[in-house]
Amino acid sequence: MIGNTYSGRVGLQQRVLPSYRAAFFDALAKACLGGLSVFAGKQLQAEGIDPTGRLQYARYVQAQNYYFSDPGSALFMCWQGGIMHWLNQWYPDVLIVEANPRYLSTRQAVTWMHRRGRSVIGWGLGAPPIDGFLAGLQRSARSRFINSMDAVVAYSRQGAEQYRNLGFPPERVYVASNAVAPAPATPPPPRPQGFTGRGCVLFVGRLQSRKRVDLLLEACSKLPPAVQPRLLIVGDGPARSAFEALAGDIYPRAEFVGARHGTKLEPYFAQADLFVLPGTGGLAIQQAMAHALPVIVAQGDGTQDDLVRPENGWQVPPDNLKVLTFVLRVALSNPEKLRQMGDASYRIVSEEINLEKMVQVFVRALNDLAKYQR
């Protein structure tokens, strides 16, 4: 049992507390015998983040976030008021922080921990290239900030390599593949080897322009008529009316079913033969894979590289209609191959990438740091 738990008290800093992270924080809290306290504040109104203010097992302390510019700007910064009071009250043995140097108050928290002989774990996407007129200063600040940590946890193998390239000790770099769902508890729905009628393509997500549902509609419309699939679009959002109008013009086979959550999503995953996310984001990928669906996703920040592989899907260049159309045609032309790829999806989320595995990596990092401190 010791290998699955950490005996000390843990603090965890986040800029905001998105609802999709609640299950992970609660699972980690159950593994931290001394308790877990999460310090996070409110998002900017324009960000479109679905927040939560409730955790079942972890403690939640609200920060007072002060923003300078917006997250898309090179000048973006955030200061989290109350962080020192929280640290003094909770007094964690280890602090886990977002590995983002733009959160200025985090530096103060790192210094506070180190002055007391306590460890800090940075958690982040990695250290991708930085461009723009402030690139040199930003790279330097990021390198100093990351190297002030005692260990780092990356979302992906690509992110871990980027941290190592900053000169961080390899033995203190961990990979906790980004997971939002536990390992599936039930077998996948049965599917026939061939399609029943037309193939069925599924999209699940918030309907906003960056999700590129318009690109998916265009790609489907350019397929040969015999291959054109039934297209299920599950979700709601500010771009829904525009997407529906476009579908009426170029792809009337598309069905907009509105937002569905929890068990109400199950029938749509069961009907589908292929899951497609043509834009940014990707919280539903693991759900689709847990239903034994092959996936097509737009390439992003590297966090999907470990999840989507040639054995279970395709990563396509973002905003590339020609490639998306080609891959859709290849996928829908071979239902037997799709079933094999769906089985691979199910295996990956059952055995490799899930909340349980993610918690295990953090617990290992916490226990390793405890050995270094002794």
CB atoms near residue 237 (< 10 Å): 16
Contact between residue 277 and residue 284 where contact means Cβ atoms under 8 Å apart: yes
Helices of type H across the chain? 22-31, 83-90, 104-115, 135-146, 157-165, 213-221, 240-250, 266-271, 285-290, 321-332, 335-351, 355-373
Q: In 3-state terms, what secondary structure has residue 235?
A: coil
**Which residue intervals of the chain bear CATH 3.40.50.2000?**
2-181+354-373, 200-351
Q: Given this model, what pLDDT does residue 338 score?
A: 96
| pLDDT the model gives residue 303 | 66
What is the per-residue pLDDT for 3? 63
Q: What is the pTM of this model?
A: 0.88
Per-residue confidence band for 374, with pLDDT thresholds at 50, 70 and 90: very low
Q: Decide if 164 contacts 127 (C-beta within 8 A).
A: no
Give pLDDT, residue 301: 59
Homologous superfamily of domain range 2-181+354-373: Glycogen Phosphorylase B; (3.40.50.2000)
Q: What is the pLDDT of residues 36-64, one digit of tens each?
A: 999 999 988 777 677 777 899 999 999 99
Non-local CB neighbours of 121 within 8 Å, separated by 6+ positions = 94, 95, 96, 97, 149, 150, 151, 152, 153, 362, 365, 366, 369
**Percent of the chain at pLDDT above 70?**
97
Cα distance between residue 181 and residue 179, in whole Å: 6
Has domain 200-351 been given CATH number 3.10.580.20?
A: no
Cα separation, 4 vs 40, whole angstroms: 26
Q: Say if residue 364's pLDDT is above 90.
A: yes
Residue 302 has pLDDT above 70, yes or no: no
Q: How confident is the model at residue 2 (pLDDT cuts 50, 70, 90)?
A: very low
Asked if residue 1 has pLDDT above 50, the reply is: no
